[in-house]
Amino acid sequence: MLTRLLDIFGDLRVICEKLLVPMPKANDIGSLSLLAEKNAKAYPNRIAIISDEETETWIGLNDRASRAAKILKSQGVEKGHTVALLMENRSEFLVQVLALNKLGAISALINTNLTKQSLVHCIEVVESKKIIFGEELLGSVDEIKADLALKSPNQFMFVPD
């Protein structure tokens, strides 16, 4: 009986804490790209990314994402569009995610280990308007191009290493 009461009080504590959390305001950070923009203004020269090959500041990361967003927009990517992203773990991956987020587009993160029909299926099921892929996956994409609904060359965006 005592254990059950303690469980109930514990549940009530969690419920009360959740009820007391205020709703976010319209100008609150609600996306990854807004967070990157906020950090670029607040901490422009602080490190945002550290890897074996490079370091990137918040201002540098946000600037790269803004440039990538302009390119994507010029190629017809709009709010609500889904774009398949097929790239290994590197800074360009995050830049593309942020760029798509800035436009209000949806990043469909595709498993880089997929090949052939599994890869085709994942790109098709999300109804992707474009595929952004890294140089390291050029062979995988070339292998499936004929099987995709995407046919126009501008629907394929190559990001070099």
Q: The tokens 């889904």 sit on which residue?
A: 82
Is residue 141 in some structural domain? yes
pLDDT digits (tens, 9 = 90+) for 87-104: 998 999 999 999 999 999
Q: Contacts from 34-41 at CB under 8 Å and sequence distance 24+?
A: 36/61, 36/62, 36/65, 36/98, 37/62
Q: Indicate the number of domains in the chain.
A: 1
Is residue 24 in some structural domain? no
Q: Which domain holds residue 150?
A: 31-159
Query: Count of residues for the chain?
Result: 161
Nearest to 101 by CA among 128, 69, 76, 64: 69
Is residue 102 in some structural domain? yes
pLDDT digits (tens, 9 = 90+) for 31-82: 888 889 999 999 999 999 988 888 999 999 999 999 999 999 999 999 999 9
Mapped onto helix, strand or coil, the DSSP state of residue 46 is: coil
Is residue 23 in some structural domain? no
pLDDT digits (tens, 9 = 90+) for 104-137: 999 999 999 998 999 999 999 999 999 999 999 9
Q: pTM of the predicted model, to two decimals?
A: 0.79
Cα separation, 107 vs 80, in Å, equals 10
Q: Which residues contact 61 (CB under 8 A, 6 or more apart)?
A: 36, 40, 48, 49, 91, 94, 95, 98
Q: What is the CATH number of the domain that holds 69?
A: 3.40.50.980
> What one-letter code names the amino acid at 36?
A
